[in-house]
Amino acid sequence: MAKAKTLETAFNELEETIAALENPDVTLDASLKLYQQGVKLLKYCNDSIDKAEKKIIELKTEDDADEL
């Protein structure tokens, strides 16, 4: 079973993808593939951050309810 990607790993891959896109020697075809990869990584990062935010809100709500 494949190990789940961490947010940090995804950010690093996104930075590498951006650096590759900035290379003037990259072909148009390669640029399109890199762009698609970057979009997928960005979506993964955004989804991961959204999940973390929702979990924090849940925990905060539970903590506030426990204090009552």
Instruction: Give tens-digit pLDDT for 30-62.
Output: 999 999 999 999 999 999 999 999 999 999 888
**Looking at residue 1, what is its pLDDT?**
46
| Residue showing tokens 């891959």 | 13
Residue 39 φ/ψ region, left for φ over 0, alpha for ψ in the -120 to 50 degree band, beta for the rest: alpha
Q: Report the chain's mean pLDDT, rounded to a whole number.
A: 91
- Pick the more confident residue, 1 or 10: 10
**Looking at residue 19, what is its pLDDT?**
97
**Sequence-separated (6 or more) residues with CB below 8 Å from residue 34:** 17, 20, 21, 26
